Structure 1
Amino acid sequence: MPSAPQTQTPARRVAIVAYARSATRPGAEELSEVETLMPVLHEVLARTGLRTGDMDFTCSGSSDYLAGRAFSFTMALDGVGAWPPISESHVETDGAWALYEAWVKILTGAADTALVYAYGTSSAGRLRDVLSRQLDPYYTAPLWPDSVSLAALQAQTLIDDGRTDEAELAAIGARSRADAGLEQREHGEYIVRPLRAGDCPPVGDGAAAVVLAAGDRARDLCERPAWIRGMDHRIEAHGLGVRDLTDSPSTRLAARRAGAFDRPLDTAELHAPFASQEVVLRRALTLDSRVRVNPSGGALADNPMMAAGLVRLGEAAARIHRGASDRALAHATSGPCLQQNLVAVLEGESDER
């Protein structure tokens, strides 16, 4: 049998030193990518005293397909600034994967600082239908199953397997909204059984940004950096029919590779847009009552597409920055029913240098 994967310890220390995000807006406001991004970029840079030209690397995450425009990310670069020229890259997915690329860039020594940002314009089309286009193009996508219907399939599988029930899902939704400071509301009617309105995320447009820095540079820019102790991402099989929807082995493997199981955690920011997905992730990550899950409210309370995963990393880092957490896990997902998963472990400063 192959041996269990070992935790990878980076030779170079990299930290999240600043984080900012926009409020999630309903699409009726129809702000452009630049109008959405500029306030967020100005805020995150102001936290460090840096300018965009001071960054060794810039990486963004978004979806042209979601925006409904080819190469929309190039227009968003106007929010960063066209001069002086920058070293730039883009990932066609959630900004958490842009952060991963920037982290690797710094680990190689090719950069000491990086600006990472992400934005999403869910209002550009019918989100539930648009997301169906990421499914298997031969067997699944032609059936046009929307994202909520697929999440409901996963939720019903969990209920049939005895791993949750509708009362637990309702409690997760209520807790998420309370932690986010939102007004409590009725759990609502079924959208797709067994998911009710309170089990599903709100739809809106938004953006987020973080700044990464290495070693002593991170300490210069932030009083208490959130050090990335490990990060990894894995993917499930594309075909939903060959997966166990009640479990997430890719999350478990990514967490093991990131070092999440090496020592106790105190915080977990989980990218679980549907209440049932928090049930799956808690089990995959063996999170118990000692771990504060989604103190920000999580994606169930606020889910800006293409930025929600980066927000989880930013919120975990922000808790470390202000001393509310010492060791936090941040998780991001992409695709239907937790298909692809990224896990990072963040820690506050220690005596180790």
Structure 2
Amino acid sequence: MDLDAFTAVHSDEWDRLHRLTRKRRLDGAEADELVRLYQAVATHLSTVRSAAPDPVLVTRLSDLLTRARVRIGGAHDPAWSDVARFVVVTVPAALYRVRWWSLGVIVVCLAIGVVAGVHVATDPAALDAMGPPEDREAYVEDAFASYYDPGVSFATMVWTNNAWIAAQCVGLGITGVWPAWVLLQNAVSVGATGGMMAAYGELDVFLQLIAPHGLLELTAVFVAGAAGLKIFWTWVDPGPRRRTVALAQEGRALITVAIGLAGALAVSGLIEGFVTGSTLPWWLKIAIGALALAGFWAYVLVLGRRAADAGFTGDLDADRAGEVVPTAG
């Protein structure tokens, strides 16, 4: 198809539809014309997509049809079905796409944490680096446990802080440095703290207070770091896509990851605020944390795989994201 000739033949109709969508008031004849032109331009868009998918023209017609559709049907108020679709399809699809990155980051960070913990627990010089003896003893005997103060304000503070860290890992992932630093800092900090508690014979207390919320909380931080590193790697190696297109597609999908992780961190915040410091038996606290973690991975692997098999990636659909030039693989 000759795209220039096609555009020359139909541009008057497109311009007329554009003018009608911009008018504040339409009479009966203009309203009928708007509907007729909407149907015609929808046919034009379908023809262009199938015969000559020029991204500029496809985006122009898609935007024009979107404005016309809003004018015909009125502004769209988000429905509960849209929210449910986002939660059940879009978010798990985005999380599922980074599952292998997440697994790799989790394994590496756990290894770093264990090494840091063993180093502090067995090396007197490393233990001394954790602070003066009196400060270490006060932390082990009182400060560590008293930090977990049950209540709404504590849960909210924990959630907002962790959600902000996760959002930074994704949003600044293009640097490659920030998510790597956050992951390293968290792994070393948690491991060293556990090592210090072990050196004073309080490893059981450490595990009992970290495990209930930490299973899900640390997983969410690790997944956020993995998402950030994936954006960085997309910049380094975009594959068959143009670098700008690849970054735009991955960036949009991984922002969805950040939103999903905010929900996971809200759950871990509730556990930290109302379970970790409670008087419940330690085994029940850990069981609650393990159940929350299992629920998260079931959400990612079951719903995410189903969404991925249906073709969803966590990115916007073509009409909202804009068309791209097809690229040979």
Flag the structure with higher helix content: 2
Q: Shorter-chain-normalised TM-score: which range? A: under 0.3
Task: Normalising by structure 1, report the TM-score.
Answer: 0.22
When Rg is computed on C-alpha atoms for both structures, the one with the higher figure is 2
TM-score (normalised: structure 2)? 0.23
Q: Which structure has the highest strand share of the two?
A: 1
